[in-house]
Chains A and B, each alone.
Chain A
Amino acid sequence: MSPASGEFGPLTLRLALEAGRMGVWRWDPASGEVRWGPELEHLFGLPERSFGGTFDDFLARVHPDDREAMAAAIHRAVATGEPIAGEHRIVRPDGTVRWVEARGEPVRGADGAVTAWVGVGIDVTERKQAENALAAREAVLSLAVDVARMGVWTWWPDQHRVEWTSSMERLLGLAPGSLRDRRSFLDLVHPDDRAAVEALGRRAPDADEVDTEYRVVAPDGRIRWLERRGRALPTRSGEAPVWVGVSIDVTERKEWEATLDWLLQVERQAHAEAQAARDELTSTVALLDTMLAAAPLGFGFFDLDLRFLRVNDVLAEINGIPAADHVGRRLAEVVPDLAARVEPELRRVIETGDALVDVEEHGQTRAMPGVERHWLASYYPVRGADGQLHGIGALVVEITERTRREQALRMQREIGELLAGPSLEVEDLLDRVARVPVPAFADGCVLFLAPGGPVLRAAAVAHVDPAVEARLRREVAVSPVRVDGRAPSARVVRTGRPVLVERITEEDRTAVAADGSYVRAAAEAVESVVATPVRLGGRTMGALTLLRGVGGRRFVVADLEVAEEVASRVAQLIEARRLQDEADRARARLDLLARLGELATVELDSTARLQRAAELLLPDLADACGVYLVEDGTLRLVAATNRDGPVTPPAEDRAFPLDAPFPATQAVRRGRPVLYAGDVDQSFLEVVPAARAARLRDMGLRSVLAVPLPGPDGPIGAIGLAYTARSDRLYAPTDVPLATELARRIAPIVEHARRFEHERDTAEALQRSFLPRALPEAPGTRVAARYLAGTAGLKVGGDWYDVLRLRDGRLLLVIGDVVGHGVRAAALMGQLRTAVRLLALDESAPGVLLARLNRFLLEHDETEMATCCAVTLDPPTGELRWASAGHPPPAVRGPDGEVSFLRVARGAPLGALDREGYPEEGSRLDAGSLLLLYTDGLVERRAESLDVGFDRLAAALASGPGPAGALCDHVVDALLGDQAPTDDVALLAVATAADADLVLSLAARPGELAPMRAALRRWLRAAGVGEGRAADVVLAVNEIATNAVEHAYGLDPSTFELAVRMDGAAVVATVTDHGRWRQVPRMEGGRGLMLARSLVDELHVETGDAGTTVTLRARTAGEPA
């Protein structure tokens, strides 16, 4: 407000004074006089003209709290010349307090100096009171604003002006004073909201209130939501409108609202989805219901606890309870027979989430108790749109009929395969047949055969329960089903028509029991039976009886057809098997006849042949067989066998007088076959002595057929054939022709064998007579030989050997094999042996010897041939020379045990070619070696390479004992075993003195004698020579050694050798010195030799140019004199 000026006229002033509730004053500082207008006195509450007129009077009226400040302000104005302006309170005389605004201007003179002050006092109490009220409200508002995060604004729309309180700046996180104008505000508004806020701010809204929300971006980047609420202040008409309002930070509310919105949205969506899923499921189930209501498919839906939620009528019908009664029930309550199997399957679907498709289920339901039915089921997971598993759906198709067909086909196929499979005994075959229907189609099966008697024979029994099977087996044997009885199988056999007993009643059991066919096991374990005929060629030959009862299972009419098909297949099998057996038997018989014919040509002795013949007849023609021959008015059993092998009956069953009552003797006496086909107990056993009858009964004899063996002058014996309980067969008259034919074939075998044995005995006797009885030996060698006649055939007579001591001390060893056998070969062998002995008198070189033998043989007989090997051995040096004429190479085992074969030229046998000589080879045999000569029978085996035989020989030699004789036995055992060789075999072994023998080389001095004796005693003791005999040997050797010492020449350190070995049970000692004993020994020396001679059994003295060798031999107690 500008101060009143002097220009205002008195009226104007008066108007102004009255309107403004003011008074004027004039103060003359020089005089101190103050003059107030009456309005001012009125203002101060003073009566007119009562003001004292001094400055102090004025000050006294000022409120004490403001007095000092007022006085100071006035003094400051006077001092500076500035106008006076201020507000102060006054205290009226009545005590009321008023607010006065004081204004004053200096009055200046022409010189410009202040002459007086004039001014006004204005009563501003009203204003001040309003101002104070406003300030209080402002303070409260400010507080509220801060607390509520509000900014307060004032808006003048027509001026496009807005003002904010500082709280707005705080609210927005702005520095104080930064919110200067609208522009600066708009910059803060979120760009997305800016246009709207700007539009709003351009003009005043039509309404009296605004309430909008917008976002601002605080300097820190945060987005805040502000709610702007404003109201137009009431104005008088024509006045510019003013709006005041607040902007509230509603960010948190906005955020919370957003969260709430989101939650609500999510909830709404979930709700919608769940609803959709429910709708879909409902519609799916409804669709399925509709679709499956009339379809032949059982449909069920289970919740995750495997309780039925819903089933269609088909499944309800299958399960045998109304659809509604399924709901909420478990499988175990609805289909107890199936639950154990199905529940785990459903659980698997839940666990894996995968469908189980085409699962075969079978069992019984309440719909048809006792009837086993089959279904094909699929179980699949049912999920909502969210993939969540809601339950399990089940689709079930009944396949009982199809399964029945499949079972029928399977059983027929299996039965067919039995015939095509590995060959089985009939019993085993039928047993397998009976097991085919068990357990899939039936719990038990009995195959009855009707052989024509009063009862049925149970050919095979099977049951799923082994205990029941054992009882069934026992009971059908003990109380067999009678053909004329009431048992279903009996009725089948009688009528040829199938019988079905769906449920066996007590009456049925009683009726069956009444005729003696009662089968307890069946009665207890069987509740349903179907029996069907086994027909062959239009004849009912038995019944296939199938049993059910386990778990209440029973047969229904539909099963009858299956059973009939199986029975028909069984009949085909039995017939096929019979034909097969027939064919086999015919083939076997042809084969048998052929083999019997062969027996006449192989070289076996008669006993072996007949044993072989008897074995050939088993098991096709007999379970036991005996061959009897007439010898000296007695019928003797010469061969006997049963299906376990050869047998030797007690002596009284091996020889019978020809007039004894016995099938074999009867056959011989009558010259015709004797047949006991029927009941052996009654017709046959009564003719034999009681003891034998008992034995025959023990062997389960059932049927006997005895056939004479024809000879040129009547029967030479008989064959006895018997069937026992083993095969349970009987002989029939149709068997007689074959048996007669067999006897016709066997008879010549006997004749042939007898001739053969005679010749073999002759040849063997001849041959043995030609073999050397004793073998010469040389010092340091031991010779042994073995000859084995080919007893298993007519192989006797070809092999021979000989050993000669040549005049120079060497040994000549010869072994040979005359090609061919029998008496002729034996004779030639004898001639060769004699020839060797003669030739060796002046020729000992093996090659030359063989060449001459060859000439001898060629000139003797051009048709004969022989292999031969000749070896010379010089014992002291081991020098070996040999030649071979087509003979296997001699084997050598060195002292180290190494086995080798002497290299032989592949020369031709003697008598084969006319040629000059046979190549001669040589080598040296180490001390302690063993040389083995042998014939091919030792190493040859049929169908085997000779190399294998050589290897076997080498192995036997390597592992064999040292002494020549023991070694021969070992080799024979190892290569031929216990069996007599088919070919004859000769072995000739020479062992040279080894380290095991005592060999001493001693200085020819008396002092050597005692150690020599000590060594000799030790050796003798080790060799097991008794003390007394050992003393003799020691003394004798000592005497000879003493001679050697006494006759040693001169002063040279001469030596002598002592070699001692065991030859069997005899001690052989050789003392060799290098001096020559005097022609006439001294008396004492002679006494020593005499003494030695008297102590031992043999004593040879050989005096040569090189020295003297004395050999003594002393038998020990073990050797016969």
Chain B
Amino acid sequence: MTDLARVEVTAHDRVVVAVIEGEVDLSNAEAVHRSLVQAVTSDVQGLVVDLRGLQYLDSAGIRLLFQLAGQLRERRQQLRVVADGTPVRRVLELVSLEDTVPIDAALDDALAAFGAAPVDGA
């Protein structure tokens, strides 16, 4: 990936979970975007982006999330975001991401929204 951020993708039933850690800014937003798009195959219900391990997200990352949400919507797939850390969560709220992308406080909540089993049960 990049020095700045790491993306780890796993599958839970028919949901792809991508955990992003590190920082996302103008320098790596496109790369992160690319890896997320590649992780979502057409047979899954959707993508959960877990941002709880992310330290920094700026408007470039937000732009990425909005674009990703648009792309999945076109593929009848849903994007959900898990966020609880204050700095990142605050940014998401400031730009009203939730109007476009549902935000869950916990990964299980996001999986449940897809009807998928909780992570513990997998």
> By the criterion CB–CB under 8 Å, are B59 and A1091 in contact?
yes
B119 at the interface (CB under 8 A from A): no
The answer to whether A1095 and B94 touch (CB under 8 A), given A1006-B26, A1031-B87, is: yes
B86, closest chain A residue (CB): A1028
> By the criterion CB–CB under 8 Å, are B4 and A1010 in contact?
yes
A-facing residues in B54-102 (Cβ within 8 Å)? 56, 58-60, 62-63, 86-87, 90-91, 94-95
- The segment from A828-836, A904-912, A1039-1047 found at the interface with B is A1039-1047
B67, closest chain A residue (CB): A1084
Interchain CB contact (< 8 A) of B25 among A1038, A1084, A1095: A1038
Instruction: Report chain B residues within 8 Å CB of A1035.
Output: 56, 58, 87, 91
> By the criterion CB–CB under 8 Å, are B27 and A1006 in contact?
yes
B104 at the interface (CB under 8 A from A): no
Task: Give 1 or 0 for each of A1078-1117: 1 = CB within 8 Å of chain B CB.
Answer: 0000001001100100110000000000000000000000
**Whole-angstrom distance between the Cβ of A515 and the nearest chain B Cβ:** 99
> By the criterion CB–CB under 8 Å, are B91 and A1042 in contact?
no
The answer to whether A1088 and B59 touch (CB under 8 A), given A1028-B86, A1042-B25, is: yes
> By the criterion CB–CB under 8 Å, are A1084 and B63 in contact?
yes
Interchain CB contact (< 8 A) of B62 among A1006, A1013, A1038, A1087: A1087
Cα–Cα, bound, A1084→B60 (Å): 8
Q: Is the interface of A mostly helix, strand, loop or mixed?
A: helix
> By the criterion CB–CB under 8 Å, are A1091 and B26 in contact?
no
**Whole-angstrom distance between the Cβ of A386 and the nearest chain B Cβ:** 119
Cα–Cα, bound, A1010→B58 (Å): 11
Cα–Cα, bound, A1046→B91 (Å): 21
B88, closest chain A residue (CB): A1031
Cα–Cα, bound, A1042→B26 (Å): 7
Cα–Cα, bound, A1013→B57 (Å): 12
> By the criterion CB–CB under 8 Å, are B94 and A1091 in contact?
yes
Cα–Cα, bound, A1007→B2 (Å): 11
**Most chain-A CB neighbours within 10 Å: which of B23, B25, B60, B94?**
B25
B4, closest chain A residue (CB): A1010
**Whole-angstrom distance between the Cβ of B33 and the nearest chain A Cβ:** 13
Cα–Cα, bound, A1028→B63 (Å): 23
Task: Give 1 or 0 for each of A925-946: 1 = CB within 8 Å of chain B CB.
Answer: 0000000000000000000000
Q: How large, as a class, is the contact surface on chain B?
A: 10 to 19
> By the criterion CB–CB under 8 Å, are B25 and A1009 in contact?
yes
Q: How large, as a class, is the contact surface on chain A?
A: 20 to 34
> By the criterion CB–CB under 8 Å, are A1046 and B26 in contact?
yes
Task: Give 1 or 0 for each of A477-498: 1 = CB within 8 Å of chain B CB.
Answer: 0000000000000000000000
Interchain CB contact (< 8 A) of A1087 among B4, B23, B59, B87: B59
A1008, closest chain B residue (CB): B27
Interchain CB contact (< 8 A) of A1042 among B58, B94, B95: B58
**Whole-angstrom distance between the Cβ of A1030 and the nearest chain B Cβ:** 10
Instruction: Report chain B residues within 8 Å CB of A1010.
Output: 4, 23, 25, 27
Cα–Cα, bound, A1042→B91 (Å): 16
Interchain CB contact (< 8 A) of A1009 among B26, B94, B95: B26
**Most chain-B CB neighbours within 10 Å: which of A1007, A1010, A1091, A1095?**
A1010
Instruction: Report chain B residues within 8 Å CB of A1006.
Output: 25-27
Task: Give 1 or 0 for each of B23-39: 1 = CB within 8 Å of chain A CB.
Answer: 10111000000000000
**Whole-angstrom distance between the Cβ of A1088 and the nearest chain B Cβ:** 4
Cα–Cα, bound, A1095→B90 (Å): 10
Instruction: Report chain B residues within 8 Å CB of A1038.
Output: 25, 58
Instruction: Report chain B residues within 8 Å CB of A1094.
Output: 94
Interchain CB contact (< 8 A) of A1088 among B56, B58, B87, B90: B58
A1014, closest chain B residue (CB): B23
B29, closest chain A residue (CB): A1006
**Whole-angstrom distance between the Cβ of A1025 and the nearest chain B Cβ:** 14
Cα–Cα, bound, A1042→B24 (Å): 12
Instruction: Report chain A residues within 8 Å CB of B95.
Output: 1087, 1091
> By the criterion CB–CB under 8 Å, are B59 and A1039 in contact?
yes
Cα–Cα, bound, A1084→B87 (Å): 20
Instruction: Report chain B residues within 8 Å CB of A1084.
Output: 59, 63
Cα–Cα, bound, A1010→B57 (Å): 11
Cα–Cα, bound, A442→B26 (Å): 108
> By the criterion CB–CB under 8 Å, are B91 and A1091 in contact?
yes
Instruction: Report chain B residues within 8 Å CB of A1013.
Output: 23, 25, 56
Task: Give 1 or 0 for each of B5-17: 1 = CB within 8 Å of chain A CB.
Answer: 0000000000000
**Whole-angstrom distance between the Cβ of B50 and the nearest chain A Cβ:** 20
Cα–Cα, bound, A1007→B31 (Å): 13
Cα–Cα, bound, A1009→B56 (Å): 12
**Whole-angstrom distance between the Cβ of B74 and the nearest chain A Cβ:** 19
B-facing residues in A980-1027 (Cβ within 8 Å)? 1006-1007, 1009-1010, 1013
The answer to whether A1045 and B59 touch (CB under 8 A), given A1087-B95, A1091-B91, A1091-B95, is: no
Instruction: Report chain A residues within 8 Å CB of B60.
Output: 1042
A1028, closest chain B residue (CB): B86
> By the criterion CB–CB under 8 Å, are A1039 and B63 in contact?
no
**Whole-angstrom distance between the Cβ of B82 and the nearest chain A Cβ:** 19
**Most chain-A CB neighbours within 10 Å: which of B58, B86, B91, B94?**
B58
**Whole-angstrom distance between the Cβ of B30 and the nearest chain A Cβ:** 10
Cα–Cα, bound, A1007→B4 (Å): 10
Cα–Cα, bound, A1031→B90 (Å): 10
Cα–Cα, bound, A1046→B58 (Å): 14
**Whole-angstrom distance between the Cβ of B110 and the nearest chain A Cβ:** 24
**Whole-angstrom distance between the Cβ of B49 and the nearest chain A Cβ:** 19
**Whole-angstrom distance between the Cβ of B14 and the nearest chain A Cβ:** 32
Cα–Cα, bound, A1010→B63 (Å): 18
A1005, closest chain B residue (CB): B27
> By the criterion CB–CB under 8 Å, are B62 and A1007 in contact?
no
Instruction: Report chain B residues within 8 Å CB of A1087.
Output: 59, 62-63, 95
Instruction: Report chain B residues within 8 Å CB of A1007.
Output: 27
**Whole-angstrom distance between the Cβ of A1044 and the nearest chain B Cβ:** 11
Cα–Cα, bound, A1084→B91 (Å): 14
Instruction: Report chain B residues within 8 Å CB of A1031.
Output: 86-87, 90
Instruction: Report chain B residues within 8 Å CB of A1045.
Output: 26
A1036, closest chain B residue (CB): B58
Instruction: Report chain B residues within 8 Å CB of A1088.
Output: 58-59
**Whole-angstrom distance between the Cβ of A1114 and the nearest chain B Cβ:** 14
Cα–Cα, bound, A1013→B56 (Å): 10
Cα–Cα, bound, A1088→B91 (Å): 11
Instruction: Report chain A residues within 8 Å CB of B58.
Output: 1035, 1038-1039, 1042, 1088, 1091
Instruction: Report chain A residues within 8 Å CB of B62.
Output: 1087, 1091
B25, closest chain A residue (CB): A1009
> By the criterion CB–CB under 8 Å, are B27 and A1009 in contact?
yes
**Most chain-A CB neighbours within 10 Å: which of B56, B62, B63?**
B56
Cα–Cα, bound, A1084→B86 (Å): 23
Cα–Cα, bound, A1039→B60 (Å): 9
Cα–Cα, bound, A1031→B25 (Å): 14
**Whole-angstrom distance between the Cβ of A1096 and the nearest chain B Cβ:** 12
Cα–Cα, bound, A1009→B23 (Å): 11
Cα–Cα, bound, A1038→B27 (Å): 12
Cα–Cα, bound, A1094→B4 (Å): 26
**Whole-angstrom distance between the Cβ of A473 and the nearest chain B Cβ:** 83
Cα–Cα, bound, A1042→B23 (Å): 14
Cα–Cα, bound, A1010→B61 (Å): 14
Q: 9 nearest interchain CB pairs? A: A1006-B27, A1088-B59, A1006-B26, A1031-B87, A1009-B25, A1084-B63, A1007-B27, A1042-B26, A1038-B58
Known: A1007-B27, A1087-B62, A1087-B63. 15 other contacts (CB 8 A): A1006-B26, A1009-B27, A1010-B23, A1031-B87, A1034-B56, A1035-B87, A1035-B91, A1038-B25, A1042-B60, A1046-B26, A1087-B95, A1088-B58, A1088-B59, A1091-B94, A1095-B94
Some 15 contacts from A to B, beta carbons below 8 A apart, are: A1006-B26, A1009-B25, A1009-B26, A1031-B86, A1035-B58, A1039-B59, A1042-B25, A1042-B26, A1042-B60, A1046-B26, A1087-B59, A1088-B58, A1091-B62, A1091-B91, A1091-B95
